Structure 1
Amino acid sequence: MQIDDADRRMLRHLQADPAISTAELAERAGLAPATCWRRLEKLRAAGVLKGVQAVIDWARLGYAVRVSLRVTIDKTDPRAFDEIIAAAREVPEVTEIQTFLGRVDLRLDILARDMAHYQELFRTRILTLPHIADLEALVHVADIKTDEALPL
């Protein structure tokens, strides 16, 4: 989909304030509210705008440990990727699953209340995932940059 300057202005304002009302967005982007609404609908239909989500500070809700697991899969079984991904999706504490090309095949992000909770998850839910050849755990220490916005 081709976007023009008006779309870029709208997207810049949405990145800065995802909860902005359509009327306020129209005003900031220099558009009529009806035009802004139609453009938003086109961006949604084209898949450019996937939605608006709440960003939760999990540490404030008692989930103090974040771990990123780098997983290398035993690829001798052609169903390995599908099976490990399906099994990982069943673990509620796995908040993100990404696939890669290279030495690491998957990355699983895990939230746990504390290290004891993580250890229990690791032993009972992670190590039982199928087709794991190797794991590397990276324990999160601090967020340095989490902004997903890009210049438009």
Structure 2
Amino acid sequence: MAQQSELSSNVDLDEIDRIIIDELVSNARISNATLAQRAGIAPSTALLRTRSLVERGILTGYHAEVSLGAVGRTVQALISVKLRAHDREKIDTFVQRIPQLPEVLSMFHVSGGTDYLLHIAVGSTDALRDWVLDYLATDESVGHTETTLVFAHHLGNRGPLPFDDMIS
């Protein structure tokens, strides 16, 4: 089954929508009253505007950020995966199975010499080696993997591009 693609960059967002999005990206636990104040609108309007952003598929969820190191997942890695063959049934099985594993933070379907890029977090380099052996090296659909250790992960901007950048 094909996954729904991202919304196009020409989504109709006005200045108030952008302020609401930026504030929620910065702090999803912000109170509606504070959000309204920062957007320069009434609290009832802020609530309606936020609901509209959810209904339009622009805001897709709220979540807590967990410190991976604080919960024992001190080793992060990016693993490039090249599949052995591009058989639809094997691809579907791989795509359904791998993201469900508890160590997997994200899985990306990518272009180029790699088919998938996995971001995983585990407790040690031994656990990383064992994970690659247990879940990738023994998978008959996987032809090649390359593991890169992550020394630091810095989040970027998760909100819309500034208006000026969208004009070009």
* TM-score normalised to structure 1 length: 0.90
5 Å-filtered alignment, 1:3-152, equals 3-143=13-153, 145-150=154-159, 151-152=161-162
Identity of aligned residues (%): 24
Amino acid at match of 2:40: G
Residue-pair matches, total: 151
Over 3 Å counting, the alpha-carbon distance change for 1:112 and 1:86 in structure 2 is: same
Amino acid at match of 1:146: L
Over 3 Å counting, the alpha-carbon distance change for 1:76 and 1:107 in structure 2 is: closer
Deviation at 1:117, TM superposition (A): 1.5
Helix, strand or coil at the partner of 2:127: helix
* TM-score normalised to structure 2 length: 0.82
Over 3 Å counting, the alpha-carbon distance change for 1:49 and 1:76 in structure 2 is: closer
Gaps of 5+ in 2: 1-10, 163-168
8 Å contact from structure 1 (residues 83, 130) kept in 2: no
Deviation at 1:20, TM superposition (A): 0.6
Helix, strand or coil at the partner of 2:79: strand
After superposition, the C-alpha distances for 1:31-57 in whole angstroms (9 at most, x for unaligned) are 011111011001000110111111111
Report runs of 4+ in structure 1 exceeding 6 Å deviation. Answer: none
Amino acid at match of 1:28: R
